Amino acid sequence: MTTQNYLMIDIAGTELTTEDKELLQHPKIGGVILFTRNHESLSQLKNLTSEIHNLKSPALMIAVDHEGGRVQRFREGFTLLPPMRELGDLYDKNPGSAILKTENMGEIMGRELKAVGIDCSFAPVLDIDIGISEVIGNRSFHSDPKIISILAGALVHSMHKMELIAVGKHFPGHGHVKADSHIAIPIDNRNIEAITQSDLLPFQYLIESGIDGIMPAHVIYEKCDPAPAGFSSFWLKNILRHQLNFNGLIFSDDLTMKGAEPMGNMIERVIKAKTAGCDMLLICNNRDAAIEVIQHEHT
């Protein structure tokens, strides 16, 4: 079961500690996710990412949640990006303007993040907003999967022009559940046909357009599989890999979230997520859990 470079963890401050450096050089670590607390200034952030990249070869991937709106970790010195919904609302009035604005936003995101050494933005959100999910809400482009596909495709195209890795989330769709998987265990009771005809459409479009990564939801789709999607070989292997022909990286959502709790303790979560098909596993804001996984001989 043991492989290398499959864990993505966080750090506490604006510079690396001795413990950080030791942990990040471990063979199991493949990436670092940064948060607002890691950003003090542009020069500090650039120095931090440079030090992380120089720790080992191949270099660690550095990622951040930088969608725009309420989910934008870096703000000081960065352009404040609007929530995706603003682009969807504009599309309803003027599709051409919305596409141009989305392309421009992707270029700004890519240029500014690459300038400070970030490799990957966990964006865009591909969930459909039907007015149920508060945690998604205006993070979603629209209620129409075709419009989501068009705008998300424009965003990713521009991110790629700037050589920024794009990760679509939350597969196969978080928009039909009210519960927030950060603090609850959401259950979606729709069947596979209903999900295929709506939620999967943006993912299919973006996969065909060459998106780099996909992040599954900590949602249980009980008529399809008893496990949350990120721990389900049905969703990750049967649907994502084989049916949708996705060949990129599958990033787990944060394994410390409430939605992952049904899978057991952290060691069990890691083993089940890897077995289901996740390539890069996120363990955020719990250094003890990360160390436990790193030291465990069977992960």
- Judge whether residue 212 has pLDDT over 50: yes
| Rounded alpha-carbon distances, angstroms, from residue 180 to 20, 132, 258 | 30, 11, 9
Task: Indicate whether 189 belongs to any domain.
Answer: yes
Q: What is the mean pLDDT of residues 114-141?
A: 94
- Judge whether residue 179 has pLDDT over 80: no
- Judge whether residue 2 has pLDDT over 60: no
Tokens of 242: 């084989």
Tokens of 158: 């521009």
129 in active site: no
Q: What is the pLDDT of residue 258?
A: 84
Q: Which residue range(s) make up the domain with 90? A: 7-295
Q: How many degrees, rounded to 5, is the angle at CA 241 between CA 142 and CA 225?
A: 75
Task: Indicate whether 232 belongs to any domain.
Answer: yes
Closest CA to 36 of 63, 75, 70, 9: 75
- Judge whether residue 191 has pLDDT over 50: yes
DSSP string, 100-121: HHHHHHHHHHHHHHHHTT--EE
Residue with more model confidence, 142 or 132 = 142
Task: Indicate whether 221 belongs to any domain.
Answer: yes
Interval 227-260: pLDDT, tens: 999 999 999 999 999 999 999 999 999 999 988 9
- Judge whether residue 1 has pLDDT over 70: no
Task: Indicate whether 1 belongs to any domain.
Answer: no
Q: What is the mean pLDDT of residues 275-279?
A: 97
Q: Is 10 helix (H, G, I), strand (E, B) or coil?
A: coil
Tally of domains within the chain: 1
Residues 6+ apart with CB under 8 A from 205: 149, 152, 153
Q: What is the pLDDT of residue 180?
A: 74
Task: Indicate whether 47 belongs to any domain.
Answer: yes
Catalytic residue from among 129, 225, 253, 279: 253
Exposure of 185 by Cβ count < 10 A (0-12 exposed, 13-18 middle, 19+ buried)? middle
- Judge whether residue 112 has pLDDT over 60: yes
Closest CA to 214 of 226, 199, 193: 199
For a pLDDT cut of 90, what percent of the chain falls above it? Answer: 89
What average pLDDT does the chain have?
95
For the chain, how far is it from start to end, CA to CA, in angstroms? 6
253 in active site: yes
Please give the Cα distance from 223 to 11 (Å, whole number). 38
Q: Is 257 helix (H, G, I), strand (E, B) or coil?
A: coil
How many other CB atoms are found less than 10 A from the CB of residue 149?
21
Q: What is the mean pLDDT of residues 206-232?
A: 96
**Residue written as tokens 């049904």?**
262
Task: Indicate whether 2 belongs to any domain.
Answer: no
255 within 8 A of 282, measured Cβ to Cβ: yes
Task: Indicate whether 217 belongs to any domain.
Answer: yes
Q: What is the number of helices (H) and of strands (E) in the chain?
A: 10, 12
Q: What is the mean pLDDT of residues 129-151?
A: 93
CATH code, domain with 189: 3.20.20.300
Cite the beta strand spans of 172-219 per DSSP E: 187-188, 213-216
- pTM for the full predicted model: 0.96
